[in-house]
Amino acid sequence: MAKFQSYVICTSPRSGSTLLCNMLAATGVAGKPKSYFHHGSITDWLSYLNLDINPSLPESDLLAAIFEAAVETGRNGTGLFGLRLQRHSFDLFVEKLAVLYPTLASDRQRIEAAFGSTLFIHLTRLDKVQQAVSYVKAQQTGLWHRAPDGTELERLSAPRDPIYDAAKIHASYDEFIQYDRAWQSWFDMQGIQPLRITYEALCADPIASLKDVLVQLGVNGEAASSVVPGTAKLADGINQSWETRFRTEHLHSDPL
């Protein structure tokens, strides 16, 4: 029997969350984790969940409908609701939870009021230079995810050749460090001991990481055995050359 009714993957871009979410969904026992609250407004949330509701209704009514639809979709016919929560989406998410549950004292209480007992998972990437390079390159090329057979899974813009941009890489590097610090500060404030998974461990043995999550959730860990990881690394020689150049250029000013 599951130990939890939900789980929240607390993460930041280019940390392996798409791989982990897709594998969890593929088990058939852990819901369908997605970024149901990723976009920047209630209107965006309504659109993402395909809800045809009058947007002029009271905000609390809109939020109740949104969270109910998200839970139903995220359970996907299982007993577990899964959510991916990117740090840059966090502030709006907790702000609207406070509107929905104004009498509760903490973010954690509001999350569990909405989703039931919750396992928090912190998915992070240890090498922030690699993470920043991956992010900037994906923004430039438009390609965010690719299948093992080379098929494009997610493209957000037309193909474009990548150009080394130290300023953008540095800004992303700093941002990802701050995201990790913000997550840890929030965990401490809420009294949360998350399950910790690194991108590096996930990529080294995806099935072992998946099984660990399932076991922590209290569902059958063997459901991981039949799952085939569905995303491939995008890193190539360009990534490596950018990483080397960035570390070299900033070696004396930053501990990269």
Per-residue pLDDT reduced to its tens digit, 124-143: 999 999 999 999 998 898 88
State the pLDDT at residue 212: 98
**Which domains does the chain show, CATH number per domain?**
6-250 (3.40.50.300)
Could you give the C-alpha distances from 70 to 31, 34, 115, in angstroms and in order?
A: 11, 9, 10
Q: Which uninterrupted H or E stretch holds 45?
A: helix 42-48
At 196, is the secondary structure helix, strand, or coil?
A: strand
Extract the residue ranges of the chain whose pLDDT is less than 70.
1, 152-153, 234, 251-256
At 11, is the secondary structure helix, strand, or coil?
A: strand
Separation between Cα atoms, residue 8 and residue 74, nearest integer Å: 11
* Nearest Cα to Cα of residue 76 among 126, 20, 33, 131: 33
State the pLDDT at residue 64: 97
Q: What does the pLDDT look like over 151-173, one tens digit per residue?
A: 766 777 778 888 999 999 999 99
One-letter amino acid for residue 123 of the chain: L
State the pLDDT at residue 251: 57
Could you give the C-alpha distances from 73 to 45, 51, 80, 120, 246, in angstroms and in order?
A: 13, 12, 10, 19, 42
